[in-house]
Amino acid sequence: MKLDIIGFVASGKTTLARNLSETFHVPFYQKDNIVWERTPDGDKKRDDKERDQLFQRIINSDDWIVEGSPRKLLRECFEKCDYIILLDIPLYKRLVRTIRRRGRQRAGKEKYNSKPTIKFLYYRGYHAGKNMIMTFETSQHPINSHIIKTMIRSWLA
């Protein structure tokens, strides 16, 4: 199974990727962690060669789930994945999630790579979300897309 989950900040990409990973026993990767190396001293941007080698190693493996906002330099996985899942969640839900996330981070219950802000919600532009869940089948694959759609809908409810 090869999935790319895309969407805006606080749309649930990481949670969905983690749940699908656990359900189908497929490793998942955050696009941010492909671009940035997380170190005890802070984030360090990977050089282009290291980033590209890591990304190629991931997308050339048999099974993977990647999640994150579409980055121009990481779009090659669109051609290699079996499904692309777009999470388009209304702004008010993302706002609530961002506020909750910030509270958990301040309480030390959730680790963060960047502090969520209201401005974060508008990053890369915003268009009216309508709880749209779209899957785009990119190849013939034995995975049942109904299972994925059902998991997504139940998680978003």
State whether residue 15 is helix, strand or coil. Answer: helix
Report pLDDT digits (tens) over 55-114.
999 999 999 999 987 666 667 787 888 888 888 778 778 788 778 877 877 787 776 665
Angle, CA of 155, 156 and 157, to the nearest 5°:
95
Report pLDDT digits (tens) over 9-65.
888 899 899 999 999 999 999 998 999 898 888 889 999 999 999 999 999 999 999
Class of the CATH domain delimited by 2-156: alpha beta
- In whole angstroms, give the CA distance from residue 4 to residue 41: 30
Q: How confident is the model at residue 123 (pLDDT cuts 50, 70, 90)?
A: very low
CA 123 from chain center: how many Å? 15
Predicted confidence at residue 42, as pLDDT, reads 83
Output phi, psi for 144, to 5 deg: -85, 110
Q: What is the CA radius of gyration of the chain?
A: 16
- In the predicted structure, residue 136 carries a pLDDT above the cut 50: no
Question: Cβ–Cβ contacts within 10 Å for residue 150, how many?
Answer: 11
Alpha-carbon distance values, 142 to 5, 37, 64, 100, 146 (Å) = 18, 34, 15, 37, 12
- In whole angstroms, give the CA distance from residue 104 to residue 111: 9
What's this model's pTM, rounded to 2 decimal places?
Answer: 0.71
- In whole angstroms, give the CA distance from residue 84 to residue 134: 8
Angle, CA of 155, 136 and 148, to the nearest 5°:
30
